[in-house]
Structure 1
């Protein structure tokens, strides 16, 4: 149960906190007729290898979301392959920073998700004030979970589709030892109609997402490029009435 909690907590950290560009040149402006590197990686799922070309972010790099993410959203997250697992319902908020750019409210989003799972002994979450690429979650039994982004790419397909890919370290600290995992998460966000189809009403829309995750061996172990676990999830973001 705890292992599932840590994996799902990392999901929300990735989806609504750190999914962002390392440098301006990593933002690819492409059209529907030009190949997309991340879309092609999505198509070969689950036959992935450890990503070697993903870019390391700078210390202060943070995601600048498309304008259509602005506000507060009610989120449904569901694992596609687990029919017995109930969906997780939580909240996500996107706000403007001091520079006027749209970013995720990372502490709010992580806490909302973690409390919705009701597992794992979650107590609180804190961002690293020196970098948006690091976050700490305090757990019961003198444990805490550290996440650190070590690579990211993104592609803006058009005004309706936004794809991200990130590689990060998940470090579970306990009084006895620390356990490290390397996790890659690719997420495609797309504007969709209220019934999750492509018929988008100009007066409003949902955001539909597909998320693909792979866990690789921790650093220092015998390197194997194949993932040791894969998970696919579906996301639906609906604009909250209390925005």
Structure 2
């Protein structure tokens, strides 16, 4: 149960996550889709391996989102399945916020999003999370029983396919610290976001849309054990973001 919680927490530390039947909304049709490195990576899941040509971010570099992510969203997420996990999980409903940084770029409020996701899940053990003030690529989560989870993003790619599709891929180093030992692993999370209709009719209102997505995740052993690393666990999730009604 704890291992499953750590995987959930890592997902949200990186970005956040997804749902099943609520994704009945039809995806907005997009034209002129061009194959990309990340769409090819997605099509190869779960047959992933490391190393992969993913760029190491600079100390101050963050994941930059398209403008259509701006604001606060109600997020429904659920794990559909994967290696060692064949059953759908109960949806988790949480909140996600995207804000502009001092450079004017749109970024995820990682601390807010992580706390919202973890506190909305039914798995215990989470107390709080803090960003590293020196880098957006590192967080430390405080857990019960004198444990804490350190996550550091060591690789990132992002692609804006067109005005409706955005794909990200992040590789993190995860270190679980306990009084007895420290456990190191790597987690790769690829997420494809798409604008989708906010209702069931055939009209598309581009000023009133949801964001639908798929997320593909793989856990690898700690770096350096093998020249080529294969996943020891994989999971696929679905996501739906609905703009929060402030009224």
Same fold flag (TM > 0.5): yes
Q: Report the counterpart of residue 115 of structure 1 in structure 2.
A: 119
| 8 Å Cα contact 1:128-1:136 kept in structure 2 | yes
> What does the per-residue CA deviation read over 1:57-77, in whole Å, with 9 as the maximum and x for residues that have no partner?
000001221100000000011
| 8 Å Cα contact 1:196-1:208 kept in structure 2 | no
- State which drifts further: 192-201 or 224-233: 192-201
- Displacement after TM superposition at 1:16 (Å): 4.7
| 8 Å Cα contact 2:15-2:108 kept in structure 1 | no
3-state SS of paired residue (1:61): coil
Among candidates 193, 212, 222, match of residue 216 of structure 2: 212
> What does the per-residue CA deviation read over 1:36-74, in whole Å, with 9 as the maximum and x for residues that have no partner?
110011112111111431110000001221100000000
Q: Report the counterpart of residue 22 of structure 2 in structure 1.
A: none
Question: 1:84-103, aligned counterparts within 5 Å?
Answer: 84-103=88-107
**Cα distance between partner residues in 1 of 2:173 and 2:45:** 21
> What does the per-residue CA deviation read over 1:100-126, in whole Å, with 9 as the maximum and x for residues that have no partner?
221111111000000011324111110
Question: 1:141-152, aligned counterparts within 5 Å?
Answer: 141-152=145-156
Q: How many residues align?
A: 230
Q: Report the counterpart of residue 22 of structure 1 in structure 2.
A: none
**Cα distance between partner residues in 1 of 2:182 and 2:71:** 37
Listed as ranges, the gaps of 5+ residues in structure 1 are: 18-30
Among candidates 240, 244, 247, match of residue 240 of structure 1: 244
Q: Report the counterpart of residue 75 of structure 2 in structure 1.
A: 75
> What does the per-residue CA deviation read over 1:122-156, in whole Å, with 9 as the maximum and x for residues that have no partner?
11110000000000000111110010001011111
Q: Report the counterpart of residue 32 of structure 1 in structure 2.
A: 32
**Cα distance between partner residues in 1 of 2:94 and 2:15:** 13
TM-score (norm 1): 0.89
**Cα distance between partner residues in 2 of 1:207 and 1:98:** 25
Seen in structure 2, the aligned counterparts of structure 1 residues 230 and 97 have a Cα distance that, compared at 3 Å, is same
- Displacement after TM superposition at 1:33 (Å): 5.0
Q: Report the counterpart of residue 24 of structure 2 in structure 1.
A: none
Listed as ranges, the gaps of 5+ residues in structure 2 are: 18-30
- Higher RCO, 1 vs 2 (CA within 8 Å, ≥6 residues apart): 2
| 8 Å Cα contact 2:33-2:162 kept in structure 1 | no
CA RMSD across the alignment: 2.0
